[in-house]
Amino acid sequence: MKFLFLMDPLETVKFEKDTTFILMVGAQARGHEIYYLPEDGISLIEGKLYFHTIKVIPQLIEHMPFKEVASAHLSQDDIDALFIRTDPPFDEKYLINSWLLDHLPKRVAVINSASGIRTVNEKIWAGQFKKITPPTIVSADKRDLLEFIAKHKDVIAKPTDAFGGQGVFHIQKKCNNTNVILEMLTKDFEKAIVVQKYIPESKNGDKRILLLNGNILGAVLRVHGEGEHRNNFYAGGKPKATTVTANDKKIVATLKPYLQKLGLYLVGIDILGDYLIEVNVTSPTCMQEMNRIYNLQLQEKVIAFVEKLVK
């Protein structure tokens, strides 16, 4: 089968961390052809999709993770599956590509669905599940934000469209920089941000659970470094083994029918204590860390699932 990976440039791939890379390795190991599709490589011509790609061979060689075979101009008739793995933000380019990919014929497996990715903002969408999420405000209004902070006293403020812990601030009672932080994040109160009540259990790390078609694939605890409150790996967090609790399973069961309906097959959810914090659908990570900790090859399960989707 021909598998396309719409992703960030090959040279940005982090050999030991990148989930997209290990998925490509898994697909290659199962005999599939792998094609790198850049963000500007999609054309819709008279109702039919074409892709300007590079055929690659992923390699478990740190200094040369990809062998570029040749450029390839493919049509929608040539491909079997397409992985949308571009990192946030979900900007205009991301949006336009998602609209273009809506034109793919139903027989092509898409992981994850373009319309599903459009629907689920990773920081905001979870807010509809009030019983499993912490008190949250999404707003650009200065008064509303300050009143929320005054009420809850200890909060986390973050952008609606960043990833990897970028722009995440811990605001505590009597913080002298509250207004400055809000001004910066909201672009002088013109852009909505997310503020959530601080969960004390975050001191012990946050749990990333990967879901495959709404079922638990694996889990890892991300623990922040000294002098840091962010647990994300890109912010210096370290992985640790963890267990999936009964409460975690209840959260997953709540989300499962929604994710399946939206065609969101590979999803990463973040849990702090008893609360769901985020639902990651664009390019969920942590698969390599799970593989190393538990001596697994989770990518094989994902590729086997995609093969079934195609068939």
Side chain identity at 125, as an amino acid letter?
W
Question: Which pLDDT score is estimated for 255?
Answer: 98
Beta-carbon count within 10 A of 172 CB: 11
CA 208 vs CA 57, 223, 269, 276, 278: distances in Å: 29, 11, 6, 10, 10
pLDDT digits (tens, 9 = 90+) for 55-95: 999 999 999 999 999 999 999 999 999 999 999 888 999 99
Question: Which pLDDT score is estimated for 56?
Answer: 98
Residue whose tokens read 């959810």: 269
pLDDT digits (tens, 9 = 90+) for 115-160: 999 999 999 999 999 999 999 999 999 999 999 999 999 999 999 9
Instruction: Tell me whether the omega of the peptide bond preceding residue 89 falls within 30 degrees of 0, making it cis.
Output: yes
> Higher confidence at residue 230 or residue 254?
254
Average pLDDT over residues 237-266: 96
